[in-house]
């Protein structure tokens, strides 16, 4: 979502920014959580990453200066070479970028009274089962589609109650327009953007369910014509985080994936770039 705030990095600090280190303790799903036909423990999934028996889907777009941006954000990303092999014996850059650009995470503090900054989001919330709501059919008929409670209830009728601790991802198909900024923004003659998102009613139900985050493959979890970011004003103060401009959502099943979201640990950040991985059991 749009907010005029920036992040300045030196490339020397980037070596460990997007990696999760150490032992990860994964929680078992609750009895009401969606279950795959063949139960595979998360620990087994992780063991299978190194030998290729577990699929890992990168849901992150590479950062450069040509990505779709929020209207009005003319300066989004800049990179500068600060050392070359010929002159210094090594290659290094510094770069500048907006906090809310490319695949990024919105922290609760982005919309007060949300409190947690990006570096304060509980680390256990960054490891979560993924719930995928596929609304591509609805969006094909209405680009301003908003996820409704009835659609969530339809999902639960098939897969079971949305488990507490999940990240709920809205698969709209909008990523097929990336990185064409004009098509991705889908702006009309009056300057109003048209793309799908969540409704306030659905967001409130997901808060009741205990979701820790929402995600979408568009510029914002609020639909394009929104004037006051009403969903942001409901979810962020409730402590949820948001993942926007996600890639490769078409590769995830509606249930059965486990999400790892690793944002840059930016002190006092309202948001920032995030590396998102979905871990799937072998077919």
Name the CA radius of gyration of the chain, rounded. Answer: 19
Active site residue 100: no
8 Å CB contact between 129 and 165? yes
List all residues 6 or more positions away from 85 whose beta carbon is below 8 Å from its beta carbon. Answer: 91
Q: Which residue from 279, 269, 280 is spatially nearest to 17, judged by alpha carbons?
A: 269
CA gap 103, 240 in Å, rounded = 17
Q: For residue 271, which phi and psi values (nearest 5 degrees)?
A: 175, -175
CB neighbourhood size of 44 (10 A):
13
> How many of the other CB atoms lie within 10 Å of CB of 50?
8
Q: What angle do CA 124, 107, 278 make, to 5 degrees?
A: 50
Q: How far is CA 67 from CA 54, 182, 218, 233, in A?
A: 30, 11, 12, 26
Report the alpha-carbon distance of residue 108 to residue 123 in Å, rounded: 14
Strand partners, 130: 167, 257
- The residue from 100, 104, 110, 232 that is catalytic is 110
Q: Which residues are catalytic?
A: 110
């Amino acid at each position: 979502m749009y907010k005029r705030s920036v992040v300045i990095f030196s490339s020397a600090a980037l070596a460990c920014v997007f990696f999760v280190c150490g032992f990860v303790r994964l929680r078992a799903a609750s009895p009401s959580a969606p279950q795959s036909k063949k139960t595979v423990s998360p620990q087994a999934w992780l063991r299978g990453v190194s030998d290729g028996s577990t699929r890992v889907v990168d849901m992150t777009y590479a950062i450069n200066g040509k990505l779709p941006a929020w209207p009005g954000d003319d300066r989004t990303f800049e990179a500068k070479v600060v050392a070359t092999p010929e002159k210094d014996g090594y290659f290094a850059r510094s770069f500048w970028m907006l906090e809310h650009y490319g695949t990024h995470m919105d922290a609760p503090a982005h919309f007060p009274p949300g409190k947690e900054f990006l570096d304060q989001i509980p680390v256990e919330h960054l490891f979560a089962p993924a719930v995928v709501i596929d609304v591509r059919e609805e969006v094909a008929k209405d680009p301003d589609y908003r996820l409704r409670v009835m659609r969530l209830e339809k999902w639960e009728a098939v897969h079971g109650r949305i488990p507490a601790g999940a990240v709920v991802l809205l698969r709209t198909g909008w990523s097929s327009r990336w990185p064409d900024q004009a098509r991705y923004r889908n702006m009309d003659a009056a300057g109003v953007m048209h793309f799908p998102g969540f409704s306030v009613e659905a967001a409130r139900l997901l808060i009741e369910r205990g979701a820790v985050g929402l995600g979408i493959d568009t510029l914002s979890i609020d639909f394009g014509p929104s004037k006051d970011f009403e969903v942001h004003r409901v979810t962020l103060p409730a402590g949820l985080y948001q993942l926007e401009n996600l890639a490769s959502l078409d590769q995830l099943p509606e249930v059965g994936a486990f999400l790892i979201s690793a944002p840059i640990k930016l002190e006092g950040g309202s948001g920032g770039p995030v590396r998102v991985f979905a871990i799937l059991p072998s077919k």
